[in-house]
Structure 1
């Protein structure tokens, strides 16, 4: 395709092929290096809460695609393991928000650091021009898709 114009359909086809490939590699890497005390759904919930301090149980359930009772049991496991903290809303005791505990935050940061190192290793053999192209493409994709995405949890 050198010299041929990049058609929108070509970009779409490549995205549909490559994005799932990258995500499968990331999931396999995280699965292989997550703490043994965390199931994969618990890890995903931990990461979600880490990105969305103050999230409610229903937010976690929606993110994971689980029922409220299933998500409640999963989050309870994070609380018992002292990775997450439940906070009662001072104005409405029925509302419980979630945040990571210091050990949960440390675990979350360690996993993120490992994921960044994994991806860095994957692209380190590329020359600087190729890495710049990737960075430019990712920034372009961010500018296209970020405005379309609602924040995972809009809480203050």
Structure 2
């Protein structure tokens, strides 16, 4: 299994490089952690700061500083919740949503350009393999830790 893991890792490197290169051309240029926070805010609108900190694996003060920077860039907004005035919810701004959509389009174009060089059958096999990998990751996330 270790040999297969090494081969998959090496083969995935080109995909990861292509994926990340598209993000490096984003304006504003974001760190991977900032981008992750925006994606979390998009998937979980209204997430609170504690939830964000847990999802990115950071302490609440570090998550707060990260959100400060995203808010200053006009990509994220904080609001007090209507149910608990002490709790802050996070939401993408229209500018943040547009930036993520533009990034997704840049990634789509970059990957499409590479796939033009890949025979159709191999592209389909790649997709089947990636879907199986995704399913395995999702199953792993649902298994409770001992």
User: Which of 22, 40, 45 lines up with 1:29 in the alignment?
Assistant: 22
Question: Aligned equivalents of 1:26 and 1:16: distance in 2?
Answer: 15
- Let me know the Cα RMSD of the aligned residues: 2.3
Query: Over residues 3-42 of structure 1, what are the superposed CA-to-partner deviations in whole Å (9 max), with x where a residue is unaligned?
Result: xxxxx554333223333553344223312x0113x43143
Question: Aligned equivalents of 1:122 and 1:104: distance in 2?
Answer: 27
Number of equivalenced pairs: 141
Question: Aligned equivalents of 1:42 and 1:88: distance in 2?
Answer: 21
Give the structure 2 partner of residue 3 of structure 1: none
Under a length normalisation based on structure 2, what TM-score does the superposition of the two structures give? 0.79
Under a length normalisation based on structure 1, what TM-score does the superposition of the two structures give? 0.75
Unaligned runs of 5+ residues in structure 2 are: none
- Secondary structure of the residue aligned to 2:6 is helix
Give the structure 1 partner of residue 127 of structure 2: 135
User: Which of 78, 81, 102 lines up with 1:110 in the alignment?
Assistant: 102
Query: Over residues 22-74 of structure 1, what are the superposed CA-to-partner deviations in whole Å (9 max), with x where a residue is unaligned?
Result: 3344223312x0113x4314333222322322222233333444332222122
